[in-house]
Amino acid sequence: MHKAGIKMLLLAATYLACCVYAQASEQVITVGASLSSEKMEFEFKQAVNALNRRHLKSRILFNSTTILMDSNPIRSALDICDKLLAQHVYTVVASHPNSTDHSPISVSYTCGYYNIPVVGISARDSAFSDVNVHKMFLRTVPPFAHQADVWLELLVNLTWHKVIFVYSADEEGRSVLSRFQTLAEEHNIRIEPSVKYAPGEKNYTSVLAPILKHTSRVILLSASTEDAEVIYRDADVLGMTGEGWAWIVSEQAFDAYNIPVGFLGVHLVNGTNEVNHIKDAVQVIGHAFWSLLDTENISNPPTECKDIDSWTDGEKVYNELIKTQLNGETGQVSFNSEGDRLNPMYDIMNINGNRRSMSVGLYGHQEKVLGLRMMGRNITWPGNTQEKPKGEKISRNLTIVTLKEKPFVEVLPMPKDGVCRPVAPAVHAFLCKNASQDNCCMGYCMDMLARIAEKVKFNFTIHLSKDGLFGSFEKHNGSDKKYWNGMMGELMTKEADLIVAPLTINPERANDIDFTKPFKYQGLNILVRKTQKDSSLASFLQSFQDTLWILVGLSVHVVALVLYLLDRFSPFGRFKLAKSDDTEEDALNLSSAMWFSWGVLLNSGIGEGTPRSFSARVLGMVWAGFAMIIVASYTANLAAFLVLDRPEALISGIDDPRLRNPNKKFKYATVKGSATEMYFKRQVELSTMYRNMDKQKKYYTAEDAIEDIRIGELQAFIWDSPRLEYEAASDCDLTTAGDLFGRSGLGIGLPKNSPWTHEVSMAVLDMHESGFMEQLDNRWILVDSKSSCPESNSAPATLGLTNMAGVFMMVAGGIVAGVLLIFIEIAYKRHRGLKEKELELARNAADRWRGNIEKRRTLRQTLQKQREEQMRTNSISKQPASNTSLPMAPNANTAVASAPSLDSNNTNTITPSYRRLSLLEATTKSDCLPPPPPSDYRPPGYVPARSGRTVTWHNPSHNPDNVV
């Protein structure tokens, strides 16, 4: 037993020696704490021990020392000096006194003097954010002033942009107001009035009553619980807690026992859980020292309050604490430069109809998402209603401003009976005043306004813009200050509640007014007058260039000449078949070759001779192929030319060189002070065009510019595409050029933060989804019932008289030429006919004479035979008598008797039979002359008879054998 006891003592001594050696090699960091209760002291020590267990291999050992917070600040400061600083504390965790709301201000002052960092776990006073006073203070809870962040997110989520801020006239109230004002400027939320009250009063009716005169119905309240109870009582008496009102209150004010139904408030998650904040504070301290001591060493802190010098390394420790970030028991723990907790979690609380508080949302950093998340829309509002207040006291009788802009707004004179009636395609027509004159307004926007008013449930009156302008922000009338004119100016000066017109949404306007969702998307386009191509009489010849026409005409005659030469000099060119009746007149002559060449080219058939030789026929086939290609090319090119030969725009679009670098004769413009002008002014690459337009004539309405386009005073007008498309559809002489550019939307304008913006926007979206906007487009923008244009731009081109006038003129010229030639031919034929008649008469006379001569010749031959016979007879008669018995020739006496009649002058002279009469002798005889015509003789009619290529005149009554 004795030996065993000695062994145990040796082991204990060895363990103590190891511990002493280990402690000698480690740096001990003592963390002090001033806490509210002994339970919190126990939790603090457990958190420090857990910190050591988490990093066993670390050379840093954390030690803890605690005191209880005293409600007396002086005693609390003394305890810090005597009990905490004496333990060499490197940092202090501070809570608030038990069962009190006193802040640990004495701890912050005392430790701050010696540069010892203090980590607050419950102090939410905004005063601790002042680094000049509390330079070494940081906290794991956010100050009350940070509730303004949550309020702002709620206002944005609920689309309220005008509020009334009620705050206490103390440092806490001023801090909340200051932070909210800074944040509100970034989100265009305006504080209509800020109402300050003195805390601790028994009645606040006089403070709350002026609120009733303002239009805003959203109240932000920063007050303590005691003051909030009095404010709720007085506000209820004034009727400010009922339907139509909205209240968002601070955490302290939300704890009032008499908080009305429907109020909203915020509540810090784990804000009162001191245990969790102690754990997070210890974790922050541990991470800071581990990080700091890995890189450098720090000196020891002061040990008593008698020391005059502060801790030189205290600021290093404080800066390392500020930089620390971790996920702790209360969420993500991080700090800003003032030492305030960042990204805390807040519950959005609501008092329901049972007067119980319930969470309706969450704000803070959760799962890497920072922001507001509303859990459903089951919020109860003041007056125990589920309908969200509009946030403003608004009248449902709205004033609408518009201007004349077809087809969106058309202004017609008021009928004599004073009742506005819609004119098709309009569905609605409303009274609209122009100064003292009453008019009727209808159109795209008026039909849309009627549907919006029906959905949103408001009444309205309409008036036209005083100066007829959309609105531009510039200096006017020599003033040095810029301001909006036109409809924008009237909206800014609250002369109108809405702008219902084709108002383009652009950054300049959106900076000063609100726009609904676009009711129509559009762009900019260019309106020009159509340039009709002048079709000349020779337009059908434009398919080929002049050079090609000359070459084709020359080729016809060259080919004809070559065909003639080939056929003439070819040995087979005049070859005839043995039994062919063809004569050499059928061979190809130069005239036939010419007609052949033209006939092949014009595909008119071959009516003349064709080549006979093989060489000429080969050339003819090649010429036929050439003619086929030429004719087909001409036909195709003519069709293409006619398709493209349509009225065209003068320019190709916004990038046309005539717009970028115009000459003096080319003028283009837009409406002065319009969104289109702002677009050109805003775009750097279009600045040259803006300067050119600024030098030209100023147009203040689209109607004036469009009229100048019609009469040719203006070459191009740049404006919104719907209006230009409408004008182009209504006037056939106008057209749009190029593609759309500068795309934007048309919206309804409202004052900044108007309570109607959301509802009107939702109505516009609903009309888009239901197809109502498409109906308006078809009725007003895309309508072409007024258009009398014969064709649209997408229709194929058709032939007209202007295109083919030259062809008709060519036919007419051919007719005239034919008529002239027929007269020439008739005159020539008459002249030729007289000669033919004379020749025919001569020919007939010659034929008669020739017939008589033939008969006389026959007679002479007969007489000669008779004489020979007579002589033969006479010779026989001189022979022996036997010869006398021969018979005499018949008619011998007649012949002999008639023989002397051959010569009446010399009856005794007998012409010998062996001599032939001369022509003179024959023609001198009376029997050789034709007999005289009878008394009833008439010249025969001559009938032309065609024989082959020769025309003769034939007398059917003439018989050359009829000789008298």
Q: Is the pLDDT of residue 620 over 70?
A: yes
Q: Cβ(389)–Cβ(377) under 8 Å?
A: no
Largest CA distance in the chain: 233
Q: What is the pLDDT of residue 630?
A: 79
Region 846-856 average pLDDT: 86
* More confident call, 231 vs 881: 231
Question: What is the percentage of the chain residues whose pLDDT exceeds 90?
Answer: 23
Residue bearing tokens 């007679």: 859
Is 723 marked as binding a ligand?
no
Is 110 marked as binding a ligand?
no
DSSP H or E stretch at residue 61: strand 60-68
Q: Is the pLDDT of residue 813 over 90?
A: no
Question: What is the percentage of the chain residues whose pLDDT exceeds 70?
Answer: 77
Q: Where are the alpha helices (DSSP H) in 255-353?
A: 274-293, 314-323
- Residue 174 banded pLDDT, cuts 50, 70, 90: very high
Is 531 marked as binding a ligand?
no
Range with lowest mean pLDDT among 248-257, 620-629, 808-817: 808-817
Q: Is the pLDDT of residue 619 over 70?
A: yes
Q: Is the pLDDT of residue 887 over 50?
A: no
Region 269-296 average pLDDT: 89
Q: Give dist(CA 945, CA 956) in Å, integer.
A: 10
Q: Is the pLDDT of residue 196 over 70?
A: yes
Identical fold, 27-114+274-329 and 144-272+345-374? yes
Q: What is the pLDDT of residue 618?
A: 78
- Residue 101 banded pLDDT, cuts 50, 70, 90: low
Name the phi and psi angles at 905, rounded to 5: -80, -30
Q: 867-898: string of b/e by CB count within 10 Å (b at 16+)?
A: beebeeeeeeeeeeeeeeeeeeeeeeeebeee
Q: Is the pLDDT of residue 956 over 70?
A: no
Q: What is the pLDDT of residue 644?
A: 57
Q: Is the pLDDT of residue 898 over 60?
A: no
User: Mean pLDDT score of the chain, rounded to an integer?
Assistant: 79
Q: Give dist(CA 418, CA 895) in Å, integer.
A: 137
Q: What is the pLDDT of residue 803?
A: 54
Name the phi and psi angles at 98, rounded to 5: -65, 135
Q: What is the pLDDT of residue 942?
A: 45
Name the phi and psi angles at 934, rounded to 5: -65, 165
Is 504 marked as binding a ligand?
yes
Which fold is adopted by the domain 546-571+588-644? Helix Hairpins (1.10.287)
Region 561-576 average pLDDT: 70
Is 509 marked as binding a ligand?
yes
Please say whether the structural domain 396-532+647-786 has been given the CATH code 3.40.190.10: yes
* More confident call, 883 vs 336: 336
Q: For the chain, state the CA radius of gyration.
A: 63
Q: What is the pLDDT of residue 214?
A: 86
Region 200-217 average pLDDT: 91
Q: Give dist(CA 402, CA 405) in Å, integer.
A: 9
Q: Where are the alpha helices (DSSP H) in 268-407?
A: 274-293, 314-323
Region 37-53 average pLDDT: 90
Region 508-525 average pLDDT: 88
Torsion of CA 200, 202, 207, 213, to 10 degrees: 140
Q: Is the pLDDT of residue 197 over 90?
A: yes
- Residue 819 banded pLDDT, cuts 50, 70, 90: low
Which fold is adopted by the domain 144-272+345-374? Rossmann fold (3.40.50)
Residue bearing tokens 């200096």: 475
Q: Cβ(229)–Cβ(256) under 8 Å?
A: yes
* More confident call, 531 vs 315: 315
Q: Is the pLDDT of residue 91 over 90?
A: yes
Q: Cβ(220)–Cβ(151) under 8 Å?
A: yes
Domain ranges of the chain: 27-114+274-329, 144-272+345-374, 396-532+647-786, 546-571+588-644
Whether cis (ω within 30° of 0) applies to the bond prior to 407 is yes
Exposed/middle/buried for 564, CB within 10 Å: 0-12, 13-18, 19+? buried
Region 360-366 average pLDDT: 81
Q: Tell me the per-residue pLDDT of 769-779, one tens digit each, with 9 for 90 and over.
A: 999 999 998 88
Name the phi and psi angles at 656, rounded to 5: -65, 135
The token pair that represents 821 in the structure block: 């030639």
- Residue 532 banded pLDDT, cuts 50, 70, 90: low
Q: Give dist(CA 280, CA 43) in Å, integer.
A: 12
Q: Is the pLDDT of residue 814 over 90?
A: no
Q: Which 3 state secondary structure label does DSSP give 412? A: strand
Q: Give dist(CA 120, CA 93) in Å, integer.
A: 6
Whether cis (ω within 30° of 0) applies to the bond prior to 425 is yes
Q: Tell me the per-residue pLDDT of 763-805, one tens digit each, with 9 for 90 and over.
A: 999 999 999 999 998 888 776 544 456 554 444 455 555 555 5
Distance linking the first and last C-alpha atoms of the chain:
203
Q: Is the pLDDT of residue 953 over 50?
A: no
Range with lowest mean pLDDT among 103-107, 450-454, 880-884: 880-884
CATH class of 27-114+274-329: alpha beta
- Residue 463 banded pLDDT, cuts 50, 70, 90: very high
Range with lowest mean pLDDT among 228-237, 297-306, 670-679, 934-943: 934-943
- Residue 560 banded pLDDT, cuts 50, 70, 90: confident
